[in-house]
């Protein structure tokens, strides 16, 4: 089984978004989002609850249509070529979509059969080994730890070798040890050529994982760059002539503001959460 996804055509970005807007009646969730994601990179979409992160992922994965703008994944437009987009992506949501009654191996075999892939048993065994779950493969998922369930969930997303993986809040609710396990999995995927777009509200997660970070605030990208480029946005503080580099948390709070737009973000979060559950 190959672990090297097919790159997009003609050296294009794996993901290109231009002017994407999305509203629910009078609530403007996305207000003209632009971003590019390079093939084989980890791109973090960072923002508070209600900033529009999940809405952006749902548009990119063809679950929602934008009101305006364009979004292209692996060279395919999400509106005009949704089938081709779905064939090249996988989505892991905020909660692990695993069957607790089945074993880990049975979950993987089931997904491979649903995708009509040949030799689902071999595919399952390969992924169990890749995610260090071989010893637990025959156990019911109900006995798994949170980190093991999340690793299995991501493994299930990789059945069929998608070129692009969307991870929506991949470590929400996990303990520190489990978070580190998932971080290692994500870093390994990028090394093997998978393009990863993850949404997170954890600043240290974006700082540790991402090649590039975009800060989404009130439906707009207000900063986009490498960690070094984002640090350069703020002048370094000095203490006794020792240069102090700003942390990502300081950059985020300086750009977003600690109180600005709280009511708007809260309302957006409530509405966006309701949409995701519908």
What's the CATH code of the domain at 191?
A: 3.40.50.300
Span 201-240, pLDDT tens digits = 888 999 999 999 999 999 999 999 999 999 888 877 665 6
Residue 17 placed within a domain: yes
Span 169-202, pLDDT tens digits = 988 888 888 888 889 989 999 999 999 999 998 8
Count how many Cα atoms sit within 13 Å of the Cα of residue 275 in the half-sphere of its side chain: 24
Single pTM value for the model: 0.80
Residue 169 placed within a domain: yes
Residue 156 placed within a domain: no
- pLDDT for 57 equals 95
- pLDDT for 266 equals 44
Count how many Cα atoms sit within 13 Å of the Cα of residue 53 in the half-sphere of its side chain: 29
89-92/15-24 β-pairing: unpaired
- pLDDT for 244 equals 76
Is pLDDT above 50 for 267?
no
pLDDT band at 134 (very low <50, low <70, confident <90, very high): very high
Provide the number of structural domains found in the chain.
1
CA distance 3 to 244: 41
17 versus 250: the higher-pLDDT residue is: 17
Residue 30 placed within a domain: yes
Query: What does the block give as tokens for 121?
Result: 């048993």
Residue 117 placed within a domain: no
Q: Which domain holds residue 41?
A: 11-96+163-277
pLDDT band at 253 (very low <50, low <70, confident <90, very high): confident
């Amino acid at each position: 089984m190959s672990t090297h996804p097919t790159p997009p055509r003609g050296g294009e970005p794996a993901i290109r978004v231009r002017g994407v807007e999305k509203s629910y009646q009078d609530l403007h969730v996305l207000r003209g989002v632009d971003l590019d994601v390079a093939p084989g990179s980890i791109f973090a979409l960072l923002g508070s609850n209600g900033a529009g992160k999940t809405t952006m992922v749902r548009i990119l994965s063809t679950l929602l249509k934008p009101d305006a703008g364009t979004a292209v994944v692996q060279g395919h437009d999400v509106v005009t070529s949704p089938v081709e987009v779905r064939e090249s992506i996988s989505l892991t949501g905020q909660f692990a979509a695993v069957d607790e009654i089945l074993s880990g191996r049975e979950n993987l075999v089931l997904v491979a059969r649903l995708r009509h892939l040949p030799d689902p048993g071999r595919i399952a065994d390969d992924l169990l080994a890749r995610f260090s779950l071989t010893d637990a493969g025959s156990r019911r998922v109900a006995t798994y730890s949170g980190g093991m369930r999340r690793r299995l969930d991501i493994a299930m997303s990789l059945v069929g070798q998608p070129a692009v993986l969307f991870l929506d809040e991949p470590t929400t609710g996990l303990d520190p040890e489990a978070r580190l396990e998932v971080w290692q999995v994500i870093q390994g995927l990028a090394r093997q050529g998978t393009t990863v777009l993850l949404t997170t509200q954890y600043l240290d997660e974006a700082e540790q994982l991402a090649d590039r970070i975009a800060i989404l605030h009130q439906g707009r990208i207000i900063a986009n760059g490498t960690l070094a480029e984002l640090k350069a946005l703020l002048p370094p503080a000095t203490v006794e002539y020792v240069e102090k580099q700003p942390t990502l948390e300081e950059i985020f709070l300086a750009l977003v503001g600690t109180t600005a737009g709280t009511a708007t973000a809260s309302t957006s979060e409530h509405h966006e959460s309701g949409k995701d559950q519908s």
